[in-house]
Amino acid sequence: MKTILITGGAGFIGSHVVRLFVNKYPGYKIVNLDNLTYAGNLANLIDIENAPNYEFVKADITDGELMKMIFDKFRFDAVIHLAAESHVDRSISSPMEFIFANIVGTVNLLNAARQVWSDFNGQKFYHISTDEVYGSLGATGFFFENTAYDPRSPYSASKASSDHLVRAYHHTYGLPVVISNCSNNYGPYQFPEKLVPLAINNIRNNKPIPVYGKGENIRDWLFVEDHAAAIDLIYHEAKIGETYNIGGHNEWKNIDLIKLLCEIMDRKLNRLPGTSENLITYVKDRAGHDLRYAIDSGKIQKELGWKPSLQFAEGLEKTVDWYLANEKWMKNITSGDYQKYYDNQYVKR
């Protein structure tokens, strides 16, 4: 039985990866390590929390000694590292939180893995990162795996630093690593500071939908379950030392995405067409707001056979349906009551 550590497994992307691995690989022991900050939510994993091959550990990756103790206890065969501070706006107001979590936290995990994996025989340290490390694109072109790094925010700079450190540990110490960089994820269980769930929640509650600048910034959108499937493939099939870009081939201007969401929500809520669009409110643009991201995912498609399963409109419909059917989940995490749930779950364990 392999024992796999998934960090940040109570978060948005992490919870989908944990669920996939717990259900698909009953012969693996999956250890979900999460510090349960504001965006970590054990309610994301209620359906598998009692699975025999699943264990939750509440811990902070910035605590290096604790990471060594946990690695000594479980003797992990692999690490899938998703734990990170990830919201650009928060990085602008509180950059040091991102330095500690994304850089120091990653180094602590690398050191713990290096200490426990003395022979580097069959282990793998898989680091999940973002396309934002590449900087900003103009009207044309794509990010490739060999695109030079040019981070523009404290968040992307901290992720770029962690990427470099993972590669440095591979080249310096021989640590067996792989890296992937993904485009913007959307789907169920995403904390509503992000654009898609924020807009859905505000439309449902007839609140203004904030749009930066003129809404002309372009992002490539990837359905979270497609991302989890790519992570599964990379973990099992990728060669050590490789990097893969994961993108949805779904480029949308922010304002066009919001208008599509408004159209879908009006239909789902039986409102007159155009009702929700009246909630759009243009606000001052974010500092250092990158114009366009677009990923070329040809390498993972060619080498590992991965491709997105959903077109964006289909994935967005599925996402809206989930949020409308899980109003209690949304109310809990936006009311503060979710902290009580965390505490109760941790005491039980």
Give the residue numbers marked as catalytic: 131-132, 155
- Helix%, strand%, coil% for the chain, nearest 5: 45, 15, 35
User: What are 73's strand-pairing partners?
Assistant: none
Is residue 140 helix, strand or coil? coil
**Cα separation, 4 vs 78, whole angstroms:** 5
Integer Cα distance of 226 and 306 in angstroms: 9
Beta strands in the chain (DSSP E): 3-7, 29-34, 54-58, 78-81, 124-130, 177-182, 184-186, 209-212, 218-223, 243-246, 251-253, 280-283
User: 248 CB contacts (<8 Å, ≥6 apart)?
Assistant: 183, 220, 221, 222, 223, 226, 308, 312
Sequence-distant (≥ 6) Cβ neighbours of residue 161 within 8 angstroms = 102, 103
Neighbours of 214 (CB within 10 A): 11
| DSSP states along 16-71 | HHHHHHHHH-TTSEEEEEE---TT--GGGGTTTTT-TTEEEEE--TT-HHHHHHHH
318 burial type by CB count under 10 A (0-12 exposed, 13-18 middle, 19+ buried):
middle
Other CB atoms within 10 A of residue 208 CB = 13
